[in-house]
Amino acid sequence: MNRALNILKRLFTIKVDNWRVLVLCLVGAGTFWVFKALNKNYTTTIQYPVYFSFDNEQYIVVNELPTDISINVTGMGWDIFRKSAILQSKPIQFLLEKPSEYRKVAGSFFLPKVVDHFNDIEVNFIATDSLSLDIQPRITRSFVLALDQKTLVFADKTLMVGAPELNVDTVQLTGPEQLINNQSDTIFLDMSGYIIEEPFERNVDIVGTGSGLVHRDPVQVQVKINVVPLVEKSIQVKAHWTGSPEDTTQIANLPLYQLNYLVTAAYQNTEDSVRLEVPYAEWIKNDTSTVVPYVAYMPDYLHQLEVTLIRE
């Protein structure tokens, strides 16, 4: 029994030197098999890198260009392996003299140059059916620049005095032809990111051109907006009837209103005159609290007028 165990132990015990010999044998056998396999003819489809060359000053890429095509080839395994994209990193270059005319490129377009490039293996056909390209002429146009006043946000009790000022009134946009021509004739500055509570003077980015492919000149515009603070005032005013009652005793019973409004500091101590009118026929037929008086006159310097009925 012990003798049998010793025999098995010797069989399965391999010295370090023997392991090295075994590994070298396996590597050698594998290498021999690979070289033998690569010396045979194969037909296969490979991916190969391509590059489109054109005048980058006159044209601009809108969507990312394809970087490779599929090619069906026949040849020695070693030649195919050497020509594969893994080892042959230099792409085949295709010159486009008028790239904007190449919207969809058929696989046959690539065949002549691919055949010249693969001179040691046979090119059967281009397996890629077609490629889409989006390269447009690079153009420059001038646009009117204006401030979008709907986006202005002012702090409470402030008033814009005069019109906003821009240090330039036009902007030049350079980019893809289709994108530039689809722009509105006026580029509006969006001011919604600011709350204006004091005189405003700063550079604002010209945005809203729709794409990072569009270059703006200038990229910023200086905006000036003059604002002044407003102060609260209030007065009480008797309304005037319109359509006077036949009963003259009712003429004196005029409704009294509280007027709250805002003015600039220059008019803080001014005696303000406001005329309110109320239709008498509507007054006597309806709930008086629902009758809205008509502001027949008020000075232009009054702002945010609020009218509240005090006495009927």
Whichever domain contains 142, its CATH number is 2.170.120.40
Tell me: cis bond preceding 164? Omega within 30 of 0 counts: no
Residues 47 and 31 both lie in one domain: no
Residues 119 and 196 both lie in one domain: no
Does pLDDT of 29 surpass 50?
no
pTM of the model: 0.69
Residues 173 and 161 both lie in one domain: yes
Residues 257 and 280 both lie in one domain: yes
Range in 7-21, 50-64, 155-169 the model is least confident about: 7-21
Say if CB 85 and CB 126 are below 8 A apart: no
Residues 112 and 56 both lie in one domain: yes
Per-residue pLDDT band at 32 (split at 50, 70, 90): very low
Per-residue pLDDT band at 30 (split at 50, 70, 90): very low
Residues 141 and 129 both lie in one domain: no
Which are the contacts of 261, defined by CB distance < 8 A and separation ≥ 6? Answer: 232, 233, 234, 272, 302, 303, 304, 305, 306
How many domains are contained in the chain? 4
Instruction: Match 């009294």 to its residue by tokens.
Output: 256
Determine the structural domain holding residue 100 and report its residue range: 43-133
Does pLDDT of 55 surpass 90?
yes
DSSP per residue, 202-241:
EEEE---SS-TT-EEESSEEEEEE-EEEEEEEEEEEE-EE
Say if CB 205 and CB 220 are below 8 A apart: yes
Q: What is the pLDDT of residue 65?
A: 94
Residues 209 and 285 both lie in one domain: no
